Amino acid sequence: MIKQVALLKSKPGFSYEQFIRRYEEGHVVLVNEVFPYFAAYRRNYIVPRGTVSLDHIKSAHPLPSFDVITEFWFKDQAAMDALSRTSSETDAGERVSQDESEFLDQAGTVIVECEERVTPEHLLRPKPASAAGKPAIKYVALAKAKPGTSRDALISHYEDKHSRLGLELLRKDGESIFARYSRSYPKTNGTPNFEHLGYESQGVDFDVMSQFSFWTRDDFEAFRAMCADPEIGALLLVDEERFLDRQSITTFMVEEHESRY
């Protein structure tokens, strides 16, 4: 599976609700029509005033400058190449770009290929009978590696130690507090070539994007309380200091929308 992430900015003049409606009811429909190549397609809208404060992090960063994190998954390279050919050899690319110009600040678009690691379902919290559909709460954390830490060392420590520590410490009724938990690491050579859509190659200002979902608000509040526990918070903090630039951590809520195939 190949994953790409697009960081997109709303054009001025759109409210949060208007932006979501224009994207979901207009652009998503067009993209799925002209590019039938995705294994999955997800939009994560940054919630206004949605900064998440965790006691052991105490992030003072404002919300990111972009308004939505869009994620695309392709089954293989052939599917991604097919999208690229369709974009450049038909009017599909022009149609998508024209539609984007009506509601996106295209100059702010950043697209990057990522290596994704997903915690298996059997290690996560089972869906409760009372939960309808997808998890109720989702938040995202962006962070840079600690200076001097290579990309390989960052991934190794996060996957082999920190993610496992979180699963061990953050539990409710004997089960993980997380409904979903994934980490996406931008590739150093992972900026796709989308010049035919009018995008310039740009990098991203983080080394890992972590995504955490919770079945219920009660689970989310229990998670925050665990992070505020002096013993648990200290263990998480000490381990984060081994591989992350903790001053770079930005945490915020998102509203998730997903296309089903």
In the prediction, which pLDDT does 196 show? Answer: 47
Evaluate whether 210 touches 101 at the Cβ level (below 8 Å): no
Which band of pLDDT confidence, cut at 50, 70 and 90, is reported for residue 180?
very high
Residue 20 has pLDDT above 80, yes or no: yes
Distance CA 134, CA 151 (A): 32
Helix axes 92-101, 77-89, angle to 10 degrees: 80
Q: What is the CATH number that goes with domain 2-259?
A: 3.30.70.100
Evaluate whether 137 touches 214 at the Cβ level (below 8 Å): yes
Within a 10 A sphere around the Cβ of 145, how many other Cβ atoms? 21
Residue 109 has pLDDT above 50, yes or no: yes
Give backbone dihedrals phi and psi of 65, rounded to 5 degrees, phi first. Answer: -75, -20
Structure tokens at 190: 């992972």
Which band of pLDDT confidence, cut at 50, 70 and 90, is reported for residue 132?
confident
Evaluate whether 87 touches 197 at the Cβ level (below 8 Å): yes
- 32 vs 26, 28, 73, CA distance in Å? 10, 6, 13
| 210 vs 49 pLDDT, higher one | 210
